Amino acid sequence: MLKALFGDLPRVSSHRGWPRVVVEAATWRGIGEALREGKLDLLGEWGDQGAVHCALYELATQQAITASIDASTGKAPSLAVFHAPALRLERAIEDLFGIDMVGLPDHRPWLDHGRWPLRTPLAQAPSAVTRSAGQSERYHFLEAEGPSLHQIPVGPVHAGIIEPGHFRFTASGEMVVRLEERLGYTHKGIERLLYDKTIDEGARIVARVSGDSTVAYSFAYARALEAALGFHPPPRALGLRAIMAELERIANHLGDIGAICNDAAFSMMHAECGILREDTLRASAAAFGHRLMMDRIVPGGVATDLTPVGQEMLLALTKGLRRQFPELIELYDNTASLQDRTVGTGVVSAALAAEFAAPGYVGRASGRSFDARVSLPYTPYDTLPIEMAARTEGDVDARVWVRIQEIERSIAWLEATLAALPRGPIHSTIVATPDTTAEGSALVEGFRGDVFVYVRISPAGRLERCHLRDPSWFTWPLLESAIEGNIVADFPLCNKSFNCSYSGQDL
Amino acid sequence: MRKRLFRNLLNSPVTEPVVEGANEILETTGTELRGAISRTLGRSLAIREVDAGSCNGCELEIHALGNAFYDVERFGIRFVASPRHADALLVTGPVTHNMREALERTYAATPAPKWVIAVGDCSSGCGVFADSYACVGAVSKVIPVDLVVRGCPPTPLDLLQGLLWLLNRSATEVRHPVATGP
């Protein structure tokens, strides 16, 4: 399919790593049709000054490509008209760049709540807002009407210690008929902040896109930059990066498995998983100097070396997890009252998971076989492969089992990698002054799914454009579908089993 | 499950004592604040957490306060689901424009007397998002702040020490669960 669509087109020479091509409207339409027919997966779609880009993946050939279309007239044809997963991405492009996505079925603002001091902040010339400050515009939720329906508005401030967002439930008695999400509350203007930053300044911001995935974001950013500049960090640094990524995965999965059980009122699992999560964070802090390992992956390598003592701490951690985690799995598996809540709840169909190219455990619990570590392997996963987790049921239980499998495999992988960790330097300085503009893209498997990063660096070594696409862009809409027909009381359970990022999506 | 429960009963708890100290991460608006909450409320403090635009790093560490190691409830500190049940707000993030009204309304819904603790570098206006068009800035630009706990993110121990300092309580005054058997 990629060949048929882009066969003769010249690659953009400044883009390294996978190819980027500039296409005309006809080919862009062809992309939309291929997406609709399920021949391609959409990895991301983002705006630029005078252009719109999309990243595509073809499962059959395991290849990725970026396609760009001109938008210098202030208009670009919509992909969402063919392919629903592009909808929110294109609404965000309209908000941030003011590019009119022609044909877009839904023009409601997505990130712009009408509260910023300016409009289209990422466009070349953002426009000032004339209305008085603090006055917001009314948001029209999609309608669901019927004699016995009622609405339940939730948020943006939620009951737990979690991020803000608004959920509008329409329920018939106890059953959810429709859920509509409204996000954007934590929009921090990250992509505009990244304009014209040095690569090191950029790294600190990127590490704070989503705190629970700080390693994954820094990893993806560093890889995209290094691809752009044709730079290869030392082998030890690459090993250490992946070790941190697996620690982050284990810690988050442990926390979430406990929290899912807690939402089914089984607090014992929550307490036990909480202990293992804390053990993991403490070992991470001992090994790398920060509990979440923030700012530890930097362009050019890593910032902290693993000492022999740190290595011992990590091996002690994996040993402890090997001893204690199987008991918890057994506890989960043998508690009928817990299974009663998780089995058959919040089902995502295989068809929807495929259509939305559902990232991470959401996709892998619904039969989608994609894991960036396996499907588009990067060092060190190319030489030290990790097995992909897989389930097909698509319910809360399946998402728990995928996470359980991933923890087990990450533990084994960590042990093997620690034993084979090359010696040598952990960082070499990047010369960030390319002769011409340099671009690169990278896809890194975070705990929640693939994080996509695109960067373009000016000859002066500054970030011209850096786009960060959280996996949650594609899982949030699936949550709306998963909760349909379930009872309101099961929403926390479903929501936690997805654990989508607000901050990563809102940017 | 039974086996595990019995074993947990026999093992000593993993909960750790907390010692006072390392207060350089704390920043207050006045010394009279210290102990004021205890004098007013006695031994309990109900907290409503508000994420006003953080990256969720702070939330992860606030969450950790509830785990078995830190077990914040042994100090009478409890996280509640509504601002109407709260004595204090724990606010994180650089306060985005999109969250400003929600924060103001949460503050208004909290009954007086009330205190506000800003958590993390972003909440005191010195995080990486400070210059953005989308952020208002420090929490104190929107609602009055009584205590700032710095860090990116602050560790659970930092947070716990901040809270205990605020309550003018040290761990020695607080009965440790090990010592309080029936």
pLDDT tens digits along B80-89? 999 999 999 9
Longest dimension (CA), chain B: 57
Q: Are A177 and A484 in contact (CB under 8 A)?
A: yes
A115·B50 Cβ contact <8 A = no
Nearest to B90 by CA among B66, B114, B72: B114
Q: What is the pLDDT at residue A260?
A: 96
For chain B, say whether A205 makes contact (Cβ under 8 Å): yes
- Interface pTM (ipTM) of the complex? 0.93
Show the tokens assigned to B63. Answer: 């969450």
Phi and psi at residue A395, to the nearest 5°: -100, 180
Tokens 């710095």 label which residue? B150
| Residue keyed to tokens 């809540």 | A341
Residues 96-125 of B with CB under 8 A from A: 96-102, 106
Residue B55 sits at the chain A interface (C-beta within 8 Å): yes
Closest-approach residue (CA) in chain A for B107: A157
Cβ B99–A281 below 8 Å, yes or no? no
Give the residue among A407, A405, A416, A357 at the shortest CA–CA distance from A381: A416
- The reply to whether A196 touches chain B by the CB within 8 Å rule is no
B131 contacts chain A (CB < 8 A)? yes
Identity of the residue in A211, A277, A334 whose CB atom sits nearest the CB atom of B153: A211
CA angle A284, A362, A499 (to 5 degrees): 55
Give the residue from A115, A186, A253, A337 with the most B CB atoms within 10 Å of its CB, the best one to mutate.
Answer: A186
Look at A134 and B69 and tell me if their CB atoms are within 8 Å.
no
- Please tell me the predicted confidence (pLDDT) of residue B34: 63
Instruction: Tell whether A271 is within 8 A of chain B (Cβ).
Output: yes
Using alpha carbons only, give the angle A280, A505, A113 rounded to the nearest 5 degrees: 140
The answer to whether the Cβ–Cβ distance between A163 and B155 falls below 8 Å is no
Is pLDDT above 50 for A423?
yes
Interface check for B27 against chain A (CB to CB < 8 A): the answer is no
pLDDT in tens, A318-328: 999 999 999 99
Full DSSP string of A7-37: TTPPBPTTEESS-EEEE-HHHHHHHHHHHHT
Helices (H) and strands (E) in chain A, counts: 17, 17
pLDDT value at residue B13: 83
Mean predicted confidence (pLDDT) in A472-499: 95
Neighbours of A422 (CB within 10 A): 12
| Stretch B146-171: mean pLDDT | 82
pLDDT computed for residue A130 by the predictor: 62
